[in-house]
Amino acid sequence: MELQANGQHANGSDVLDWFAAGAKEVAVHIKYLNLINVFPVADGDTGTNLSTTLRAMVEKPTRTHSFAQMLQALSQSALEGARGNSGIIFASYVNGLAQESASYEHVNVKEFATVANAAVKHLYGAVENPQEGTLMSVIRDWASFLQGNTDQFPSFGALFSAAYKSALISLERTKTQLSILRKHNVVDSGAAGFVRFLEGVNRVFMEGRNTQPQAVAEDALPLLTEDESLAFRYCTEALVDTSGIVRHEAEDLPNQVKQMLHPLGDSLIITHREDRLKVHIHTNTPELVMERLAALGTILEQKADDMALQSRLRTWEAGGIGLVTDSIADIPDAFLLENRINRIPMGVLTRGNAYLDKTTIRLTQLFREMERTDEYPTSAQPEPARIQAALSESLSHFDSLIVLSVAAPLSGTYQALVKAAEKLTTPQKRITVIDTHQNSGAQGLLVKLAADLIAQGHTHDEIVAAVEARIPQTHIYVCLNTLAYAVRGGRVPNTVGKIGMKLGMRPIMTLDKQGHGAAFGVAFSQAGLTRKIFRLVRKAMQKHGIQAYSIVHGDNPSLAEEYRVALTRIIGKEPAFVTEISAAVALHAGPGTVAVCFTQGREEAL
């Protein structure tokens, strides 16, 4: 006879029903959980992250009657799909459940309570600096209640109902346990998500496995009116394949990784299961986190969410026009943050790892990889799922979006953006994707134009028209130190490149009207390149004038500064910005590169 969870036994099928119902319950409370999210940082994504983790956890595993096997499968899915601080904490607890239940095909109430309570030590062991008044402490209190009350409540339904009430008390206590929660008079968001999960579990006992949660109105809280202090900017995560590490060395791997990453940030959580290592950390240097993790094995997945941008979006009134671009657009990071611009990173592939341009890999690291003789790095457009997630997130904050893409001939990013926009556009929420026919600092000038016009209060259509009108007037001229990197990156044929390098040629590259790469000129010294660029700028000034210009470089700030001083004198004003080039440009241009970008025409009012 099949064992029934609402009696005194539970099997793997029952556990999957519990998790599936809990996942549904959390999903209908995402907005509320995001709204009250102020710890560990006020980035407003706890509900999203916890729901995403739970959904990934229950969608993949195959239903099985084995209690242990089901938890093993849930744990594996949790490890691979966990997102955010709350998601990875919950996944760490499920990993503990799986480890403690290895000998059970099914469990009675007392055995489950023992497993649930023993799993808490795995949870606390995963987190470098456990905080009371959070998701962790509510899980601990709930599990402790289970362990101490199995004699009083001999059936799962009765015990879970009573334990839920104890979790509610523990949740309410979080309001006073952390200063940031006291300040805003809210409970911990992750802990509230866990309690909602328990609500879903309890529905199974009342309504059966096909239970459906009911959306209820929850107390509305005002959005934060000021930026919370952020010591670290990026919520950084990675999933690492550690199969190359021998078993006896892997046993203490979580502690080794904690010591290795501790100097780089806080909110550090490390979960290790078989040959998969999941890492979560808040840091200002996600590129260093990935560099250290790459030494342990292949990085299967990674992300680095900008919590400063999330926090800023949260403090501003929703609505208006949002701006999105890709990381090939070279424009200072501070400008993007100030103007709430969402930047979608391109991929950078090297030695089996896929990094995120301008976040999990920087130019200094990229140039080291480019000097390797066995494998040259390559770039890749953002994955469709990542593009859609980024646009969806931005659209949740704005009435409409304008998306400025790198030139379509240079990357499939433009078409991917168009497809994602078609799926998300509604009569109430429009998205316009513009092929800038540009890259690098020229694309950045168009992004800045759009941002300035948004700040001035222009309409969506006015901004789109203005940007499209400026595209044919905007140009980029890239001065290469050598043809070597253009050859290795595949932009120049090998035979042509060899001849050019032998002659000491230093080309100036540009883009044609459609956005295809094209040669503009050539010199045989840096001084020659500089003379040609300055001559070009003077001619543009005399003929049409220059509305705005920028200077971008490949780790060559001294030469960029020389250009800034000279061009300020020639043009009569400072550049709109000076900044580093993206990885996608650096792969073909190489270190030392400097590019001058400008928009022709006289200053005019829109």
Tallying the residues shown for the chain, one arrives at 606
246 shares a domain with 176 = no
Whether residue 109 lies inside any domain: the answer is yes
Residue 541: per-residue pLDDT = 93
189 shares a domain with 61 = yes
Give the residue numbers spanning the domain of 116.
Answer: 9-207
Residue 422: per-residue pLDDT = 96
Whether residue 140 lies inside any domain: the answer is yes
- Name the domain boundary from 280, 315, 350: 315
CATH (domain of 552): 3.30.1180.10
Which neighbouring-strand residues pair with 353? 350
| Nearby residues of 531 by Cβ (< 8 Å), 6 or more positions away | 523
CA distances in angstroms from 337 to 133, 247, 331, 402, 441, listed in the order given = 31, 44, 11, 16, 17
Whether residue 387 lies inside any domain: the answer is no
179 shares a domain with 245 = no
Whether residue 426 lies inside any domain: the answer is no
Residue 121: per-residue pLDDT = 96
241 shares a domain with 123 = no
Two tokens at 396? 């949740």
190 shares a domain with 307 = no
Q: What distance in Å separates the CA atoms of residue 160 and residue 199, rounded to the nearest whole number?
A: 9
Whether residue 560 lies inside any domain: the answer is yes
Whether residue 163 lies inside any domain: the answer is yes
203 shares a domain with 238 = no
173 shares a domain with 55 = yes
Per-residue model confidence as pLDDT tens digits over 524-570: 788 888 999 999 999 999 998 999 999 999 999 999 999 999 999 99
Whether residue 453 lies inside any domain: the answer is no
Strand locations in 167-275 (E): 234-241, 265-273
177 shares a domain with 40 = yes
Q: What distance in Å separates the CA atoms of residue 24 and residue 213, rounded to the nearest whole number?
A: 7
How many domains, the chain?
3
Residue 296: per-residue pLDDT = 94
- Name the domain boundary from 151, 172, 207: 207
| Nearby residues of 108 by Cβ (< 8 Å), 6 or more positions away | 8, 9
199 shares a domain with 86 = yes
159 shares a domain with 21 = yes
Residue 7: per-residue pLDDT = 72
- Name the domain boundary from 285, 315, 345: 315
Residue 43: per-residue pLDDT = 76
**In the 8-state DSSP scheme, what is residue 378?**
E
202 shares a domain with 252 = no
Phi and psi of 194, rounded to 5°?
A: -65, -40
Q: What distance in Å separates the CA atoms of residue 380 and residue 347, rounded to the nearest whole number?
A: 5
CATH (domain of 264): 3.30.70.980
257 shares a domain with 187 = no
Question: Which residues of the chain carry a pLDDT beneath 50?
Answer: 1-6, 222, 225-227
Whether residue 118 lies inside any domain: the answer is yes
Residue 561: per-residue pLDDT = 97
CATH (domain of 56): 1.25.40.340
